[in-house]
Structure 1
Amino acid sequence: MHPMGPNFSADCTSRSWRWQTQKPSTKSNMRTWHIVHDISAHIRHSVLSTTFYSPSHDLPRPIASSDASTSFEFSKDSAPSIVRRLYLTNNPPTQASYRVHNPHIGLLSPLSRRPGSGFLRGSSTYNAILARSTSLISSLTSNLANPFFTSLKERSRLTSPVAAALSTDALLYSPSVVGLRRDDADHFELMDDDFVGELDAIPADPTTKELEVPPAVNAQNQRAMGEFVAPYFMNVLSAAPILVDALRSASYTSSEIELDCLLRRTLKARVARVLRLFASRGDSTLVLGTFGYEEGAPIAMVAEIYAELLACSINPGDVTDGEFRNVFQRVIFTVPTKLLSVFRKTFEMRIYEDELIRSLEGS
């Protein structure tokens, strides 16, 4: 069985990926296949356009919009669910021709090791859900991505445990990644969302009996259960998070305050670098997760850093503060339910503090 499911085929030589419905033929033990969405050109484009940015690559500072402000949203939905809703809302599926294009939707993906392990075993981590729902794995396992993982390995082998835990500033940009599955919790519906029901609403793991009937009448298609859906697109930026737990173990001689300062400074610089790359590539809508939290970064610190970079005023004492204020049209934070309230309150409180300080300074 192919890891993407029995209804998904991939020619690894040509990277001609497609999902299909299966229909019995008149001959015994033979079946014919109907191709619903041929996404081979899209995945080939995404793979061949994958771009590595070395740690020393100088990214330009962005230019803010003078007539519009960034809107912020907070969601407990998964990143693929959010991207799919954004894409279908802005690109009605009645326009059925799927040309290779830039969706201008940027998605941040934390990546600290070689991909391909957790998602095949049913892991529910951020990266595993993304790998199962999109064609990203094809880009990450291409030769063009090798320098990024080489940079990760070189950092992990440094003699200084602290430097190794801080990982690399290298970035990997995978444009026009194809979304092809609906996440289990994705209940977003749009008229004709999945096009022709008898062909497009394909169950993720149909039984042999289910393949005997048109997919549209399968019980699994009546609810969101990870089935294949009409293609949606996103630009994925992979960046290495700081391995905070390893950093704390390696910095036993440092005080807690010194360690937090180092962590905050490094994390903020890396997030700023990520945002510069998104801006330089023309992504106007961003989907950002709790970058670094799964590796041990305090959720309040992550929220404050995002607020300072994206929404606070310019601060002469820290050149990155306010650098991305009104640079992007829309930013959506995908945050686990248990952290959503804390993240949002911390983000909004940091902005309020900034506005209060500015008003006092101006009075």
Structure 2
Amino acid sequence: MLSFAGQQENTVQDISARVVRSRQETAFYPHQSPLLANWSKGQPLSSRPSSSTDTKFVFVSSSALSTAQMLASNSEHFDGSIGVLNATSPKKPGGAYLSGGFAQEECLARQTTIIDSLQNSEAGASFYAEHRSASDGSGFHDHSMLYSPHVVVVKDDKGRRLSPFSVDVLSCVPVNASTVRSKFNIDAQYCESGIRYVMKERMARILRLFEERGVGTLVLGAFGVGQFCNSPDMIGELWADLLFVRDARFRNSFDKVVFALPGKHRLAFENAFNSRSLESDLLQALDKDPVD
């Protein structure tokens, strides 16, 4: 039995069945997945019931898991499952979580049961095998993804025990922009355009998978910023392009999107997202009331 003490004294919860379920239901989506590759075409196979309402966007300075905890505890605002995006290592499950690393994946590995799905599932084995076989040293990586439902959160950011709750975790490797920039001796603008193109495609596939899974609330972030060295401005703009601007493929696909940005990049990210959104609103207003 895998048991875990809750916040209340003398309470023990058996989470072993939940851990097994999460591992067994973890699914691998390869680089060539038709479902994800065709993200721009047609309507989702599963639509959220409240698709007629506008997505609510929230920016917070807390971590992804503390944000998920807040959402899960606030039943008034929580509708359906919570999806958390994990910027994962291409080769090492959990990254450097055993040696004290504090990147997002490493915190997830210490505070949740995600490591069991990454290390011990057949889907996890396929995910890392594909990344190893496809590795060419370019830093772009591939579009493969791992979806782990019902991951149990057991600790808060300070390592204190929580009353366990579950989230869905989507693990995906961002472009390593630092490697790309050093690998290719080409014009800087051309290099950045390539990074942007690949990141937009990957982020769109991420949203398509969350959409397909029927997730109502997303906890995203500055995906690929930090150790992967992508620009927070670029990532903010891309999320806006995919989720908010007019004719965005995923506009109103979700009830709520929370951008968890605990580090120094929040201001640049939020400004970029809002600037792109404002630009879209202005263009839409001009279309409705054209200037003579």
For Structure 1 versus Structure 2, the TM-score category normalised by the shorter chain is 0.7 to 0.9
- 1:272 and 1:309 in contact (8 A); partners too: yes
Paired letter, 2:278 = Y
Q: Kindly tell me: are residues 262 and 37 of structure 1, through their superposed partners in 2, closer, same or farther at Cα, counting changes over 3 Å?
A: same
Structure 2 residue 168 is the aligned partner of structure 1 residue 242: no
Paired letter, 1:150 = A
Match of 1:292 in 2: 224
Match of 1:55 in 2: 31
Counterparts in 2 of 1:35-50, with a 5 A limit?
Answer: 36-50=12-26
Structure 2 residue 126 is the aligned partner of structure 1 residue 150: no
- Residue 129 of structure 1 deviates from its aligned partner by 1.0
Match of 1:87 in 2: 72
Counterparts in 2 of 1:57-206, with a 5 A limit?
Answer: 57-59=33-35, 61-62=43-44, 67-90=52-75, 104-112=81-89, 113-144=91-122, 145-156=124-135, 158=136, 161-162=137-138, 165-184=139-158
Distance (Å, rounded) in 1 between the aligned partners of 2:207 and 2:95: 28
Q: For residues 56-83 of structure 1, give each alpha carbon's deviation from its aligned partner in whole angstroms, at most 9, with x where no partner exists.
A: 1122653586520000011111111111
- 2:26 and 2:121 in contact (8 A); partners too: no
- 2:88 and 2:94 in contact (8 A); partners too: no
Distance (Å, rounded) in 2 between the aligned partners of 1:296 and 1:117: 16
* Runs (5+) with no aligned partner, structure 1: 1-15, 22-33, 93-101, 185-225, 315-321
* Runs (5+) with no aligned partner, structure 2: none
Match of 1:18 in 2: 3
Structure 2 residue 280 is the aligned partner of structure 1 residue 348: no
Q: Equivalent of 2:241, from 292, 296, 308? A: 308
Q: Partner of 2:74: helix, strand, or coil?
A: helix
- Residue 155 of structure 1 deviates from its aligned partner by 2.1
- Residue 228 of structure 1 deviates from its aligned partner by 1.1
- 1:168 and 1:240 in contact (8 A); partners too: yes
Paired letter, 2:128 = F
Distance (Å, rounded) in 1 between the aligned partners of 2:29 and 2:282: 38
Distance (Å, rounded) in 1 between the aligned partners of 2:166 and 2:4: 16
- Residue 17 of structure 1 deviates from its aligned partner by 2.1
Distance (Å, rounded) in 1 between the aligned partners of 2:14 and 2:76: 18
The TM-score normalised by the length of structure 1 is 0.71
Paired letter, 1:287 = V
Distance (Å, rounded) in 2 between the aligned partners of 1:48 and 1:312: 37
Number of residues of Structure 1 aligned to a counterpart in Structure 2: 273
Q: Partner of 1:180: helix, strand, or coil?
A: strand
- Residue 114 of structure 1 deviates from its aligned partner by 1.3
Distance (Å, rounded) in 2 between the aligned partners of 1:37 and 1:176: 16
